[in-house]
């Protein structure tokens, strides 16, 4: 578990009670604005916030969830490993069915609870797997000495060139 996990609320806040929509019948929808503080979406996904409009529509087969959400991501820059805080937009759209044999994560249970956590987690993992950069042109770490090349320079690349020159010179000199 991450050290700051204490400040993150449980993913219970992502469980929506949609019983009223189920009784309302097909064709009804409900719009709301999501505004969730730092939340532990799953053991591998922590978000600083989730906000934005979300629409729940009652379809024949279940509930269609559509959202245009902004999520706050904290991660390491994948080139230089510095901590990065980013706001990313994700679009979610998924039909939560009464029976989805192939997709048990996105299903409605008898208690009228719809759990958004697996859906938000899946989208966040896509974003995270692409990797987040601290800046557009992050120079990363020197593979030789680990210097953060955004702030400092090192001579490793130069030494590599010097070495090749030396070897070339030796060849030319016939040593």
How many residues touch Zn ion under the rule CB under 5 A: the total is: 11
Strand ranges for the chain from DSSP E: 15-17, 29-36, 39-42, 45-58, 62-76, 83-97, 113-115
Mask for 82-121, x = binds Zn ion (CB under 5 A): ----------------------------------------
Residue 144 binds Zn ion, judged by CB under 5 A: yes
Residue 77 binds Zn ion, judged by CB under 5 A: yes
The smaller minimum CB distance to Zn ion, of residues 28 and 86, is found at 86
Find the binding residues for Zn ion in span 29-68 (CB under 5 A): none
Residue 149 binds Zn ion, judged by CB under 5 A: no
Q: For 162, left (φ over 0), alpha (ψ -120 to 50), or beta? A: alpha
Strand pairing category for 39-42 and 45-58: antiparallel
**Burial tier of 165 (Cβ tally within 10 Å: 0-12, 13-18, 19+):** exposed
CA gap 93, 113 in Å, rounded: 17
Find the binding residues for Zn ion in span 122-141 (CB under 5 A): 134, 138
Residue 123 three-state SS? helix
The smaller minimum CB distance to Zn ion, of residues 59 and 154, is found at 154
Binding site for Zn ion (CB under 5 A): 77, 79-80, 134, 138, 142, 144-145, 147, 154, 156
């Amino acid at each position: 578990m991450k050290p700051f996990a204490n400040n993150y609320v449980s993913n219970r806040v992502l469980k929506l009670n949609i019983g009223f929509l189920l009784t309302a019948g097909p064709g009804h929808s409900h719009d709301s604005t999501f505004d969730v503080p730092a939340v532990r979406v799953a053991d591998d996904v922590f978000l600083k916030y989730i906000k934005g409009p979300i629409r729940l529509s009652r379809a024949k087969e279940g509930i269609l969830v559509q959202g245009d959400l902004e999520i706050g991501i904290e991660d390491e820059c994948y080139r230089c490993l510095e901590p990065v805080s980013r706001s990313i937009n994700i679009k979610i759209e998924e039909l939560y069915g009464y029976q989805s044999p192939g997709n048990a994560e996105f299903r409605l249970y008898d208690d009228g609870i719809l759990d958004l956590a697996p859906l938000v987690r899946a989208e966040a993992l896509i974003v995270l797997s692409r990797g987040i950069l601290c800046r557009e042109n992050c120079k990363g770490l020197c593979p030789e000495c680990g210097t953060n090349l955004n702030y400092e320079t090192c001579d490793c690349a130069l030494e590599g060139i010097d070495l090749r020159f030396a070897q070339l010179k030796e060849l030319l000199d016939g040593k």
